[in-house]
């Protein structure tokens, strides 16, 4: 009897584990010790690090360099805190390995376009998207409490990037036939900001391109009717003294703090560029659309349940979602219309789609996500075969379910299957999408078609 009662639960466990199962390769990290004498150090003064997995055969001279993300520290106090974390120090990476998955996988079935390339994962430890360069460090003195244990914080993101690239050039990057600089979130923004610099250090005959995943942060209007996030970007630029490494074409026209926002500088990037993003990027929804404003907590709290699930929204709140979506499309229109540039813009409630197998190239447990070219195919075809790839889902007005990990109950999963679905294996992805798209028929509104490219369909829903 007990065995019979357990059977459905065991079946469910197998299903859940199959969702999570992906192949990974564990790589010993390279610590760039020579970078210290160049002043190219992490926030805590440790040298930068990266994980390199050598390519195979003719593909060994093809390089994919992935910049890790992890937000920013906007104030000296925040940067001090980050010195105790992986995003501010490489102490842990000197003794532990990095696991490469999804876009960095060495499995052909999971990463068919880049699996046999030389793949590099650059650890993020500077808090500035790799563009800070402040000469004078910040010293925290503990005086009578602990006078011999001061903390020194460095702001050297641009030097870190340069030192890592110099080290990789000597490891074979200088002989690259093909090279792709990419990254996620703050790393994706770093790939945009450093794109043309990256092109300049490589052989002229090499094919060089850049791609940004979840790094196209927009200057969007928040739920209070302002642009509160501008203050944070201004703090980041000021604290790290990043202005000297931001695009001159932008800083010559506007305040440097606005030149960390891609819509204000992507038109001037000369190297072929690809943008992977969701119009419902979960980080941007939480931090740009609905940031916490201390003097308007009531407004934030009123919107919070809507921000976590559009099912809870009033029609006025739905307008805020759709307004943000519209602003995203307008910002994206600033990308140079050259046929060498590409984009894959969907409505997945996600952040960093190149770092998760189910959003990068799908899995057997997430069927039908690849009826049309998905993220992996889009980026691969654009780079390898120089295909014109501009896929934009501008008709879907609510977040779509594109990933599900029950072991990670964080913001990225607020739009995924409801908890009760864990107990109902018959409840499918298609069921959830149907539910989400039928939530707000009482709030009709059309999103302007800023792009006339073919419609992107996900899971058969257009």
Rounded to an integer, what distance in angstroms lies between the CA atom of residue 177 and that of residue 173? 9
Q: Which one is catalytic: 98, 128, 185, 242?
A: 185
CA 399 to chain centre: 17
Q: Which one is catalytic: 98, 242, 351, 393?
A: 351
Residue 281 known to be catalytic: yes
DSSP 281-349: -HHHIIIIIS---GGGHHHHHHHHHHHH-GGG--HHHHHHHHHHHHHHHHHHTTS---TT-EEEEE-BS
Whether 346 contacts 278, CB under 8 Å:
yes
Whether 320 contacts 303, CB under 8 Å:
yes
Question: Tokens standing for 257?
Answer: 């703090």
Residue of 107, 155, 153 lying closest to 130 (CA atoms): 155
CB atoms within 10 A of CB 64: 24
Give 412's contacts (C-beta < 8 A, 6+ positions apart). Answer: 282, 349, 350, 351, 403
Question: Tokens standing for 359?
Answer: 């959003």
Q: Which one is catalytic: 281, 326, 350, 393?
A: 281
| SS3 per residue for 177-215 | CEEEEEEECHHHHHHHHCHHHHHHCCCCCCEEEEEEECC
Rounded to an integer, what distance in angstroms lies between the CA atom of residue 321 and that of residue 323? 5
Residue 213 known to be catalytic: no
Residue 185 known to be catalytic: yes
Residue of 189, 190, 196 lying closest to 215 (CA atoms): 189
Residues pairing with 140 in the sheet: 151
Residues pairing with 184 in the sheet: 213
CA 189, 193, 194 angle in degrees (round to 5)?
115
Whether 306 contacts 314, CB under 8 Å:
yes
Catalytic (active-site) positions: 185, 281, 351
């Amino acid at each position: 009897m007990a065995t019979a009662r357990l059977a459905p639960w065991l079946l469910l466990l197998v299903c859940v584990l199959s969702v999570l199962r992906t192949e990974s390769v564990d790589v010993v990290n390279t610590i760039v010790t020579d970078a210290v004498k160049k002043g190219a150090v992490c926030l805590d003064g440790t040298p930068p690090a990266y994980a390199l997995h050598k390519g195979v055969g003719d593909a060994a001279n093809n390089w994919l360099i992935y910049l890790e993300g992890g937000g920013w520290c906007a104030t000296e106090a925040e940067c001090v805190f980050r010195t105790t974390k992986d995003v501010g120090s490489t102490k842990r990476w000197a003794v532990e390995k990095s696991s490469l998955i999804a876009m960095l996988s060495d499995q052909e079935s999971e990463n068919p376009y880049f699996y046999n390339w030389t793949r590099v994962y650059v650890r993020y430890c500077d808090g500035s998207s790799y563009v800070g360069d402040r000469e004078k460090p910040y010293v925290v003195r503990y005086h009578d409490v602990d006078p011999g244990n001061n903390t020194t914080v460095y702001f050297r993101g641009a030097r870190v990037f340069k030192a890592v690239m110099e080290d990789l050039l000597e490891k074979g990057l200088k002989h690259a036939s093909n090279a792709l600089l990419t990254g996620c979130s703050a790393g994706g923004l770093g790939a945009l900001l450093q794109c043309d610099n990256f092109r300049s250090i490589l052989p002229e005959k090499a094919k060089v391109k850049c791609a940004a995943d979840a790094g196209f942060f927009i200057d969007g209007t928040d739920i209070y009717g302002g642009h509160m996030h501008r203050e944070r970007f201004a703090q980041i630029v000021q604290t790290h003294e990043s202005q000297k490494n931001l695009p001159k074409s932008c800083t010559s026209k506007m305040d440097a703090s606005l030149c960390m926002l891609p819509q204000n500088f992507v038109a001037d990037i000369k190297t072929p560029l690809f943008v992977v993003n969701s119009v419902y990027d979960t980080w941007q929804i939480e931090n740009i659309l609905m940031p916490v404003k201390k003097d308007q907590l009531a407004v934030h709290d009123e919107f919070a349940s809507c921000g976590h699930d559009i099912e809870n929204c009033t029609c006025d709140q739905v307008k805020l979602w759709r307004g943000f979506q519209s602003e995203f499309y307008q910002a994206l229109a600033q990308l140079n219309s050259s046929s060498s540039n590409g984009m894959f813009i969907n409505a997945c409630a996600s952040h960093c789609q190149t770092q998760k197998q189910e959003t990068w190239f799908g899995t057997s447990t997430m069927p039908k996500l690849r009826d049309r070219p998905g993220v992996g195919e889009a980026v691969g075809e654009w780079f390898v075969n120089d295909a014109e790839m501009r896929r934009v889902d501008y008709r879907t007005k609510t977040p779509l379910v594109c990933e599900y990990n029950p072991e990670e109950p964080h913001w990225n999963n607020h739009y995924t299957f409801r908890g009760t679905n864990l107990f109902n294996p018959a409840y499918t992805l298609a069921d959830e999408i149907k539910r989400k798209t039928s939530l707000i028929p009482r709030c009709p509104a059309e999103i302007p078609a800023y792009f006339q490219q073919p419609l992107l369909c996900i899971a058969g829903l257009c």
